Amino acid sequence: MPLLLLFLLVLSINAQAAGCPTWSSERAHAEVTRLRETVSHWDDHYHRLGESLVPDELYDQSRQRLLNLQACFALHSELDSLASARGPIAHPIRHTGVDKLSNEQAVSHWMAGKTGVWLQPKVDGVAVTLVYRQGRLVQLLSRGDGNQGHDWSRHIEVLEGINRQLPNPLELTLQGELYLRLGDHVQAQNGSVNARATVAGLLARKQLAREKGANIALFVWDWPQGPSDQGERVAQLAALGFPDSQRYSVAINSAGEAAYWRQHWYRSALPFATDGVILRQNTRPSAERWQSNAPYWIAAWKHPFAQALTEVRDVHFRIGRTGRITPVLKLQPVQLDDRLITQVSLGSLARWQALDIRPGDQVAISLAGLTIPRFEQVVLRATERDAVTAPAPDQYSALTCWQVSEGCEEQFIARLTWLSGKQGLAMPGTGPGTWRRLVRGGQVASLADWLALDAERLAQLPGMSDTRAKHLQRSFEAGRARPFAQWISGLGVPIPRNLPLEGDWATFTQRSATEWQALPGIGATRASQLQAFFAAEHVQALAQQLSESGIQGFPATATRMRQ
């Protein structure tokens, strides 16, 4: 018993060090069971029906997550993703698996002691065996479980992108990838476009239309019983009518060269989708000894994911200047291309309500325009659904939170940020962080309080240096001196930008909705918004404060004008 307790203690420590969830045993069992069932469901649809229920890269990440969780909680169970892929026909030469290398350092470690290493793009398609008799393609087998596959020979006649007749009457067996033809496909920009699943779905059909078959081509990545030297193999393959094998094979001597070619093919136009690169060494066992597991002489280094799987840690509701509520998912940090993503916006409260995303859910994230995090989909929901309380849709509006009060800090800071931003007073060094420090330091409770701050008071804030305080004071002085039109824009007055500003604040306060509507570009809705804006109590109080501070366009009688 003491040894068992020691083992469990060590396992717990290792799990925490590896970033394992701090779940109870019951929660861990439930989460692992659900994920295992989901992955098995995806496997069955993909291999048996030719249907991909999730993008390929999300499947790969979900499967890896399942393996990690099983290791975290010692819930080991056989995970045979090819259980439904096994066919009735044995391969003449087994298909090997492939180990995945995570980075350049892992590639360097793998290459250590190896000579004659070659690199090819890892074409994102469907692996097959091709059997030629007297130079004619007579059999096409799916990879299946690596040992046995399904017979796809019925499609040979319509697969015009495959060499069905060799120039010489040879007997040979090839292994390769049937891929979807793509014109000038740049993986870094376009992603996998579900090319693998598309081909799998087509080949699973009983009959394949000729026009569909014309969209499928072949990349031969191995000639198991061919020449022992990779350079000679691809040269002879080219002579047999498989030029891509030579065109996309390069000899390398270092991990740095592997990194160069990986980036080159990731960002270059290719006729197929790729999900990484394959490294091979010349020296390998005879084909008759190959096994379906991953051997020592081949490895893969995959491309960055176009969609990343990550866990929702929290749901935050951001309140904007106009009262718009934007749900933001706080995420377990995840790498996409060269960016570390920690949060993503859902855009609207209605969208979050429809999706019902909770902490613990697994979601897919991509980059829009290669820079902006974008939510793609919920991949798997947590077994325990923690309650999330969202603000009421009518709790905030364009006329709420003009001063600091309970529940108003975020919208108030958004107002300050807009006021001091480029669309308002253009005050350098006054972003959300600065305003939050001033608000929480008790220095700013209304939109005009900063006008009374000097460098001495600013320097009293924790962490505020004298130099920073002086810079901030100069920024405030610049804001004070801005023209009336910039103040109108910064305060968020709903006046169209192209409408000439005639008069001052008192002039605007005196206008009725009818008078506003008579102006060009202002309809009934905007006119009502303007009248309500100038009649709002907090807006009037702010105008009085700006008047007392001597701001241009705010006369001393501003708050005594009729609405």
Q: Which positions are catalytic?
A: 122
Strands 307-319 and 362-368, how do they pair? antiparallel
Distance, in Å, from the CA atom of 417 to the CA atom of 492, rounded to the nearest integer, reads 11
Encode 210-249: b = buried (16+ Cβ within 10 Å), e = exposed.
eebbebbbbbbbbbbebeeebeebbeebbebebebbbebb
- The vertex-100 CA angle with 96 and 102, nearest 5°, equals 170
Amino acid at 295: P
The alpha carbon torsion through 334, 309, 23, 63 (nearest 10 deg) reads: -130
CA dist 28 and 46 (Å) reads 27
Residue 377: strand, helix, or coil: strand
| Locus of tokens 């918004």 | 529
Q: What are phi and psi of 38, to 5 degrees?
A: -65, -45
Burial (CB < 10 A; 0-12, 13-18, 19+), residue 527, is buried
Q: In what order do the strands lie in the sheet with 99-101?
A: 99-101, 298-302, 274-281, 117-123, 250-252
Q: Are 316 and 344 in contact (CB under 8 A)?
A: no
CA distance 425 to 448: 12
- Which residue, 422, 437, 522, 402, is CA-closest to 482? 422
Alpha helix stretches (DSSP H) within 191-336: 195-203, 210-213, 230-239, 244-247, 255-267
Host H or E run for residue 79: none
DSSP class of residue 446 equals B
Distance (Å, whole) CA 315 – CA 247:
49
Q: Exposed/middle/buried for 5, CB within 10 Å: 0-12, 13-18, 19+? A: exposed
